A = this chain, B = another copy of it.
Amino acid sequence: MKNLLKSKSLPKPTENPWETLESKPIYENPWIHVQEHQVINPSGGRGIYGTVFFKNKALGIVPVDEQGYTWLVGQYRYALEEYCWEIPMGGGKILENNVSIEEQLLQAAQRELLEETGLIAEKWTKIARIHTSNSVTNEEGFVFLAEGLTQTDSSPEETEKLEVIKVHLSDAVKMVLKDEITDAISMVGILKAAKILNMV
């Protein structure tokens, strides 16, 4: 075990120690595709690995107004069979066009915030990159802090039945600490936003 007390730099990452012998497509829909791989693991043992690839990036937005209030969205999550309070969130597809990935993520985040809360923000800051569940999926999420807010009318998607509430960011932090908010991207987004805005 290395002690990083002195060097303060991380050991150099190793190359991919897994060998993939064969990959078989299992299932695909507009959002995910599932594969099963025959592998040799880092210790030389033979086995299988099932992976879930996400076609979209997960985008979370922490809108914060001048008084320090933020917006939370409540919805029943089908896969979880549980009602969840989250930051405004959605999926962003990265297209192969002339628009940079950064710009596509930002535009998707702006669209999601507007759709779910009716908010338009002047100032956008990307505050986190997150791998949600890296033992099985390749899902990658990003969180934006959105400031300079203007309220318009909202228009949630057909599949979404959303409840929207406005709470102080410091109260959202308390909800995270009490596990009243359990969505990983929301937890990270709220804790990071509060730290960045010196509200902790």
Give the residue among A71, A79, A183, A195 with the most B Cβ atoms within 10 A: A79
A95 close to B (CB within 8 Å): no
Instruction: Give the residues in chain B near A3, CB-CB below 8 Å.
Output: 165-166
Residues in B neighbouring A11, C-beta threshold 8 A: 74, 163, 165
Of the residues B29, B158, B182, contact of A129 by C-beta under 8 Å:
B182
Interface membership of chain A positions 157-195, coded 1 if the CB is closer than 8 angstroms to chain B and 0 otherwise: 011110111111001000011011011110110011001
* A77 interface neighbour in B74, B76, B84, B134, Cβ under 8 Å: B134
What is the CB-to-nearest-CB distance from A32 to chain B, in angstroms, rounded to a whole number? 6
Contact with A188, one of B39, B42, B50, B187 (Cβ below 8 angstroms)? B187
Greatest chain B CB density within 10 A among A4, A29, A84, A136 is at A136
Contact B1 A166 (CB under 8 A): yes
Chain B residues within 8 Å of A50, by CB? 27, 29, 31-32
- Would B76 and A13 count as touching, CB distance under 8 A? yes
**Are the C-beta atoms of A138 and B4 separated by less than 8 Å?**
no
Write out the residue numbers on chain B whose beta carbons fall within 8 Å of the beta carbon of A98.
none
Of the candidates B36, B84, B185, the one whose C-beta lies within 8 Å of that of A184 is B185
Chain B residues within an 8 Å CB radius of A10: 74, 85, 165, 180
Contact with B along A14-35 (1 / 0, CB 8 A): 1111100000001101011010
- Chain A to chain B: the 4 pairs with minimum beta-carbon distance, closest first: A13-B83, A42-B161, A184-B184, A132-B133
A interface with B by C-beta (< 8 Å): 1-5, 8, 10-11, 13-18, 26-27, 29, 31-32, 34, 36-37, 39, 41-43, 45, 47-52, 54, 58, 71, 74, 76-85, 91, 117-118, 128-139, 141, 154, 158-161, 163-168, 171, 176-177, 179-180, 182-185, 187-188, 191-192, 195, 200
